[in-house]
Amino acid sequence: MFVKQISLVDFRNYVNETVTFEDKVNFVVGSNAQGKTNLLEAVYLCSVGKSARTPRDKELIFHDKQRAKIKLTVSKSYGSDTVEIILDKECPKRVAVNGLPISRIGELMGVVSTVFFSPDEMRIVKEAPSDRRRFMDIALCQMSRTYFYLLSRYNKILMQRNKLLKGGFVEGDALDVWDIQLADVGSKIIKTRRGFISSIGGITGECHSYLTDGEETLSLEYESIDGETTDEIKKNFCSLLAAERERDKLRGYTHSGPHKDDIAFKIGDEDIRSFGSQGQQRTASLALKLAEVEIVGRRGEYPVLLLDDVLSELDLKRQKRLMNKIRDYQTIITCTHIDKTILSDGDYNVINVKNGSIV
């Protein structure tokens, strides 16, 4: 798939602009603070229903305006789809797909598939486990609405169990009903994530080897409750909840489950989450995102790759390798200038941005 066009009205610093993209590498060029990242943010918003930069929709609306509107058209092998989002300071955002309003954000998943990467995304490797879980969940939600609803269900059950724990005195076996539900839904999430990391791990290693010219070998390990089948995971999960029940009561929250999972990133035997250099962490996180594009594309339509100010973080050799890697699918990449020495040919599109306007 590829994004054909996006129209922005009072979104961030865009008053009223329409941008047309081509089915190849699209450079969004401009000085700092001109609106380049805002353009990527709008595309991403139409993909997953929320910003990659802020959880507050009101921040996306231009200055003193009441509302903002984004309309995006995406082309696919079987036709095209249109996503419209209206943001309002007084009420929740409204989303429509092909002119029909949707009642649940899960209905948006997969309509516009994107992979977003910026220098801040390096936290996937070096920061908290929650960032790595967020990566898995966003990727899987775009690939499977079933997973999206499983995750939503799990979070609701977890919230109810924690609410009961925080209440202080828990009578008899009041937690049993929540434990059974948590283990049932949680085991399916863990099984799905384990399969995802198993699949994407090999591709990530290949992408990392390509970016580093074979100098390093990267591997991923999923850290969660043991078990290969859903039944095995469920059984182990139930045992763990029972063993930790008194501690859960004492602390007022659930200590184990997919909400505590993690991914180990290893170069050789060294876990680069804690011991890797900044360069290793940056390259590993970029390789992970490139692998995400591949794994989604191999299942059907290739997603749109959104790269925000990534080239400035890479040396010249890795810039060239990255540009060669992304030639086969649509990429929207922001930068302050184009270094033509990193391009193998002139097959690219340039969009110049100045103060929220396409010039």
pLDDT in tens, 222-236: 999 999 999 999 999
pTM of the prediction?
Answer: 0.91
Instruction: Tell me the pLDDT tens digit for each residue of 78-117.
Output: 899 999 999 999 999 999 999 999 999 999 999 999 999 9
Compute the mean pLDDT over every residue in the chain, rounded to the nearest whole number: 93
Q: Is the pLDDT of residue 341 over 70?
A: yes
Strands (E), 65-132: 67-76, 79-88, 94-97, 100-101, 114-117
Q: What pLDDT does residue 344 have?
A: 67
The H or E element spanning position 354 is strand 348-354
Residue 327 near residue 25, CB atoms below 8 Å: yes
Residue 346 pLDDT greater than 70, yes or no? no
Which has more pLDDT, 232 or 319?
A: 232
The pLDDT score that the predictor gives to residue 339 is 84
**Looking at residue 187, what is its pLDDT?**
98
Question: What is the reported pLDDT for 98?
Answer: 97
Structure tokens at 250: 């004492």
pLDDT (average), residues 275-303: 92
Closest CA to 326 of 343, 301, 350: 343
User: Which residue ranges does the chain devote to CATH 1.20.1050.90?
Assistant: 126-300
Question: Residues 193, 224: contact at Cβ < 8 Å?
Answer: yes
Quote the tokens at residue 313: 């973080």
What CATH class does 1-113+302-359 carry?
Answer: alpha beta
Identify the band that residue 328 occupies on the pLDDT scale cut at 50, 70 and 90: confident
Token digits of residue 123: 């936290």
- Strands of 218-223's sheet, edge to edge? 218-223, 262-267, 270-271
Considering the domain 126-300, what is its CATH architecture? Up-down Bundle (1.20)
pLDDT in tens, 136-157: 999 999 999 999 999 999 999 9
Q: Which pLDDT score, from 0 to 100, does residue 125 have?
A: 93
Question: What pLDDT score does 315 carry?
Answer: 87
The band of 120, judged by pLDDT with boundaries at 50, 70 and 90, is confident
pLDDT band at 312 (very low <50, low <70, confident <90, very high): confident
d(CA 3, CA 162): 42
Residues of the chain with CATH 3.40.50.300: 1-113+302-359
Angle at 246 between CA 244 and CA 248, to 5 degrees: 65
- Burial track 242-281 (b if 16+ CB lie within 10 A, e otherwise): eeebeebbeeeebebbbbebbbebbbeeeebbeebeeebb
- 10-65 pLDDT, tens per residue? 999 999 999 999 999 999 999 999 999 999 999 999 999 999 899 999 999 998 89
List, for residues 196-209, the tens digit of each pLDDT value.
999 999 999 999 99
